[in-house]
Each structure stands twice: as structure tokens, then as C-alpha cells.
Amino acid sequence: MKIFFACLLLAAAALPVSADLVYLNKGDEINCLVTGMDAVSLHVLAGGEQKTFSRSEVMKIQLVKEYNSGLADPLKDPGIRALAQDPPKPQAYPNDGYINWLNETNIEINPDKSWTVARSGLRYVLRERGKSPAAYLSFNYLPGLETAAIDYAYAINGGTVSCMSDVSVMDGAPYMAYPAYDRLKLVKYAIPNVQAGSVLAYASRSATVHTSTYPFFSEVFFRFFEPVKTGRLTVAVPEGLELAYEELNMPAGFIFSKKKDAGRLVYTWELRDLQSYKQEPSAPPFRRYAPQIMLSLADSWENLRADLAPRLQERLILTQAIEDKAAELTAGKASDLEKTEALYNWTAKEIKFQPVPLDDFSYLPKAPEETFRQKAGNALDKPFLLYALLSAAGLNPEFAYGRSKSASFVEKLPNIRQFTYTECLVKTGGKTLALAPMGDTRRYFELSPELQGGRAFIVLARAGAPLFFENPEHAPAEEASFETAQYELNAEGGLSGGMRTRMTGGEQAGMRGYKDYKKEDLDRAMEKYAHSIHPRARLKSYKLDNLEDLSKNLNFGVEVSVDGYAMKAGRYMIFKVPGLEYSARDAAQTERELPLFWYSRSLDSRSLRLKLPPGYRLYYAPEKLEIDLAGQSYTASFGTDGGFLTFTAELKREKTWLEPSAYPEYKKFKQALAQFSENWIVLEKK
């Protein structure tokens, strides 16, 4: 016990006055301030009263650090005082839980290209549902490159100030499930005693060292899903360095300044009175539409390639194991295309994808042997292993860094940290293949929609190769579903039969995900699919050919039966086309602010042949529909062929980005489809 109290005496002397916890032997827990202690007594301030406990009464003391650095008395801060005295009216923000009264980011770049970032903010809680989202904050950092800390965090309720302590702070590792990539650290914290009407004040900071493979790069956003009164970004750059930046999606009227100050150039951007975004269906990724400033230090792509290429070559060690595997996989393959496919398929299937972004681990790949041995890799290391295998097989590949379509690529900002994945480029059969084997569900020629149409920076290149490669964008038929259905109606209105579907691109990749299902889970999924044809459908059988074979296209089919599918009324029988259901839910609002967005073009083709019940003939079917609006088209027609009803339809998407001005046409298109799918087919007795 003497040692215990001696340690506490030293700790108490080192810590500022804080909100502490004292645990007594009789079970009481006391929130207090430890004001002093000695070998026999503990002195605390609890509930406004000074209390003393003997050492024999105390089981444990938890000295709690409070975060108040840089703002010891928030009630004296002019911004906080002004907000507390004249807060915004909740009626002015009827759909919002809280308002960001001030979002401020200050970036200081040092002469050695290292940098510090200080972030601070004020929030006002408008109503009850805003309490939790306003109180919770977080930030990440990369140990070894970055240090980060919380400066202060307060809740102000009238004249009462609640300072956050380390009890409300949690350090974590977001990628602990991927031990080979468990580097990034996450700090989450919650400001205490937040109520409707609270003013919240918080600040944090980070410092990052410069390396050529982790240079200064920042994307600062100004508008979010809660309103912002003032958003401000300040960047200070020393003489001898040049700031490169791009203003993206910035509204008219933003404030910008650039001035010299003590041997630095100081840039400032400020936006005011930004309304909150509202969730809208089929909206682009946030980083594609939010106002933002993208920042880098000036450089050139040529310099970047010259620096990166030798670093990658140093790591490209073709071990005997890699050469043996390449030889094994390409044995008996006559063409370069067959060899490429075999190497891609093995990498896609055998190397487990680790969903850890490059920016959260490293922009330099691991040695291929390490990924080969661990049988796991992220969007950098898995393609780099494929590059090694392709090289070992003599296919002379190239290696490129790319940026997915979830964010804009800015060519005027040469920086490795713009990129989110890597790919291998192989010239064969008169064209260049872009190979990005992240998952294990896509064939070698099927790029993920997020990567289609994007630009990739070629680092390991052939002599005379360009700096960039433009990824192909799939035609609608390459992101398609081709369904052929055969059904039969009996005289009682029962339906039996099934459909076969051939898929390409993302449709096929999505279906291949079933390969990881247990048999009972797959059975349930197929039952659910049958119910999408009709709620009372009974699944008779299903077929999934080539589910795990990436060298072949997947074929899918189901057989179902539905008692009482068609309704009978006297001499008539009525029903709808099986499985035909279009919704206009994504066009339900009268207008929208954000563009409409899809990652790829697409095609949905249907062909149905339905045998009519004996003694019945077609009485009514809808007229042929042809509609082409807002980059979408749909054609559908009914017919008869002997004792069969036939139906063909094709839904095609050609445009993947529609401005809000095109929304009325898109709404009209979707409503026309929804209305068409509600039509009834009528048969009558002969």
C-alpha cells in the first residue's frame, strides 16, 4: 500500500487538476478532483465539498487527464461566447440535428516538406437527435510517419463547462482483422454531457514527416450532411516550395486570399452558410460532388515516375518459388492471352484480398515473395505479385497506379497519394488488357465498374510508354444480364417452368459471390430469388454452372411453380409477366440537388415464351413500348406464336452521370417503366 500511494503522489504532481475517480473498499465510486495526498490520507473535492479519506478506505484511484490544451477557459473565447449568447434557431434548420458553426483547418508546411495540421470546430446541437452524432469525433494516423493528439474538447451548457477526459477516448486499430496490414491507428472520442442547446468546442492536431512515397497531399471538404455556418482552410507554405491545388465543386461566392507573411505564402479559402446535403438515391460518391480543395506540393509526373520506378524494381525479386509457379501455371498454354488468363485466375483466387487502402498502409508494395508466402494482399500487393508472375512468364507487363471513380483524378497535381489501387497492363492480341485482381469473382477481362474509364499512372513502363493509360469503359453488353424464360400455365391458373440467365461483368461477379455460401445458405438465397418471381413461388431446382471457375462464364437458372398464379374470372384469366417488376422509387422526389450516378453502363435483356392453357387464347396484352430518355432506353413487346405468348424486353443504360437538370426526363422514364410492369395480360376461353 505504501508503494501504491507513493506512485499516486508522483502521478498527482505530474497531472493538471482533473476529474478523477476514487474507488472505496466499501464499494462506493466517487467522481472528484484529487487535491492532495500523503502516505496516510487522500484529499479530494467532491460535490463542492473538501473531503479526506484514510488510505485504508481507498481501494483504487484513477487519475483522469482532461483535454484542455490551448483553451483553458472556453467561456472567455469570443467565438464560443458569441455562439452561446446568440445561438441559431432550430426552426431555421428543421431537418438537421446539429450545425457546424465553425470548421477550421490550418495546415503548416515546413521547409523540409513535413507538415502539421490543426483542426478545430464549434458545433451547436439543435435538437435531441443531434446529440450523439455531434458529440462523437475521430481521426486516424500512421505510426512511424505521423503523430496525433487531441488538444481540447468541451461541452458548454449555459454557464456550465464539461471538459472531456481520457475516459471518453478510445484508441483502436481499424484493420486488426488483417494482421499483415494492421498499421493505421484510430482515435475515437465522445464529448461528455451533450444536450440539445449545447455548444461543443474541439481541436486536434497531427504532424507528418515527409517521404517521397508519402508526400504532402490533402483533400479538405466544406459541406456535409449537417449544415455549416463557416468553413475555413488556411495553408502556409514556406519560400522555396510551391503549393499546387485544385478547387473542385466550389460554389460561387467563396472567399479566397493569398498573401505573404513572415517568409511564407498563406492561402485561405472560406465558405459560409452551407446547407446540409440530403440523402438522394443514385447519388454520386461524396467526394465527386462535395466542395473541396485538393492540395499537393508542385511536382511533375516524370519526376514521380523516375523516383518510384527504381524503388519498385528493388522490391521486384523473382524468387525461384515465383518462377516455378509461373512456369506451372503457363505450362501447355500456347498463346500469351492464355498465359495471362491463367496467371490472373490463380492470383485472383489464391491470394486473399485484404481491403486496406494504400493510404492506410503504404504506397510501396511488399516484395512479391512476401505476398506469395502470406497468400494475402491489398490493392497494391496483390497486383504487384501478378506483375511478378507475368514478368517471370516473359509477358513484359507494365505496372500502374490508378484512382477509382469514387473520387476525381486531377492530372495537374502529380502525387502518388491520389491513387487508390494498382493494375497490370499486358499487350496481347492487338490490345492492352488492364488486370486488377482484387477480388476472386471477376474474369480477367472484366474490370470492376469503379475502375472503368479511369486513368492509371504507368510507373513500371516499357521504353517510350506514355505516362497514363485510359482504362476501357465496358459497353452495356459487357455489364449485362440475358434472361431466357420458358413457362406454362395450366387451366387452373398454375404456373410452372423456369429461366436461364447468362451474365457478364458486375452481374456475373455478384452472382459468383454465392461460391462462398454454405449449402443451406445458398438454398435459402435461391428460395428468396424464387420469391422475387412471385411471393408464392416454390423453388423446384436451381443451377449455378461454373460458379468457381474464372475461366468460364457463369450460367444460372431456376425452376419454379406457383399455384394460382393467374386469376380466373368467368371466361377470363389474368396475370402479369413473371418476374417483371420495375420501380420508380429512385424518382419519387419532385426535384433533386445532386446528379444521378452509376458506376457503369448496363443492359438487361429478357425473352419469355409462355405456353397458354388448353382452350385459351390471348385477349389483351399491352402495346409495344419504346422509350428513350435521359440516356436510358427501354423497348418491350408482346406477341403470339401458335399456342404461346411471347415477350421480349431490353433495358439499356448508356449514360452514367446525369445532371439534376435531366432528372425530370429520368423521372418520366422510370414512371413509364413502373406503369408498364403493372399491366395485366388477359386470356379468354375460345
Range(s) for CATH 3.10.620.30 in the chain?
302-473
Enumerate residues 6+ apart whose C-beta is below 8 A from 347: 382, 385, 386, 389, 437
CA distance linking residue 503 with residue 619, whole number of Å: 34
Query: Which burial class, exposed, middle or buried, applies to 662 when counting CB atoms under 10 A from its CB (0-12, 13-18, 19+)?
Result: middle
Q: Which class is 302-473 in CATH?
A: alpha beta
Asked if pLDDT for residue 667 goes beyond 70, the answer is yes
CATH 2.30.30.100, the chain: domain bounds: 2-62
Record: fold of 2-62:
SH3 type barrels. (2.30.30)
Give the tens place of pLDDT for each residue, 279-306. 999 999 999 999 999 999 999 999 999 9
d(CA 654, CA 598): 10
Q: Is the pLDDT of residue 6 over 50?
A: no
Output phi, psi for 544, to 5 deg.
-130, 90
pTM of the model: 0.90
The residues of the chain that CATH labels 2.60.120.1130 are: 477-685
Q: How confident is the model over 397-434, as pLDDT tens digits?
A: 999 999 999 999 999 999 999 999 999 999 998 899 99
% of the chain with per-residue pLDDT over 70: 97
Written as nine digits, the cell of 426 is: 499486358
pLDDT at 16: 37
pLDDT in tens, 20-55: 889 999 999 888 888 888 888 999 988 788 999 998
| Nearest CA among 130, 184, 186 for reference residue 155 | 130
Pick the CATH number of 74-298 from 2.60.40.3140, 1.10.260.30, 1.20.140.10, 3.30.70.20: 2.60.40.3140
Alpha-carbon dihedral sign for residues 93, 95, 97, 99? negative
Question: Which one of 2.60.120.1130, 2.102.10.10, 2.40.30.130, 3.40.50.720 gives the CATH number of domain 477-685?
Answer: 2.60.120.1130
Tell me the pLDDT tens digit for each residue of 244-270: 999 999 999 999 999 999 999 999 999
* Angle, CA 61 vertex, CA 58 and CA 64 arms, to 5°: 155
Strand order of the β-sheet with 421-428 is: 431-435, 421-428, 398-402, 455-460, 468-470
What is the Cα–Cα distance from 437 to 353, expressed in whole angstroms? 9
CA–CA dist 622, 362 (Å, integer): 58
Cell triple for 39: 502516505
Residue-level pLDDT at 34: 87
Q: In the structure, what pLDDT confidence band is assigned to residue 642 with cuts at 50, 70 and 90? A: very high
pLDDT digits (tens, 9 = 90+) for 504-545: 999 999 999 999 999 999 999 999 999 999 999 999 999 999
Residue 569 has pLDDT above 90, yes or no: yes
Percentage of residues in the chain having pLDDT higher than 90: 91
Band of residue 363 on the pLDDT scale cut at 50, 70, 90: very high
Q: Which residues of 230-250 are buried (b: 16+ CB within 10 A; e: fewer)?
A: bbbbbbbbeeebebebbebeb
CB 5 within 8 A of CB 58: no
Give tens-digit pLDDT for 104-138: 999 999 999 999 999 999 999 999 999 999 999 99
How many Å apart are CA 363 and CA 369, to the nearest integer? 17
Kindly tell me the burial class for residue 116, based on how many C-beta atoms sit within 10 Å of its own C-beta (0-12, 13-18, 19 or more): middle
Whole-number pLDDT of residue 48: 81
Q: Residue range 152-177: average pLDDT?
A: 93
Query: Which residues of the chain form CATH 2.60.40.3140?
Result: 74-298
Residue 149: per-residue pLDDT: 96
Grid coordinates representing 190 are 465522445
Residue range 587-602: mean pLDDT, rounded: 96
The closest of 471, 419, 182, 450 to 304, measured between CA atoms, is: 419
Q: For residue range 222-252, what is the model confidence (pLDDT) as tens digits?
A: 999 999 999 999 999 999 999 999 999 999 9
Please name the amino acid found at residue 592: R
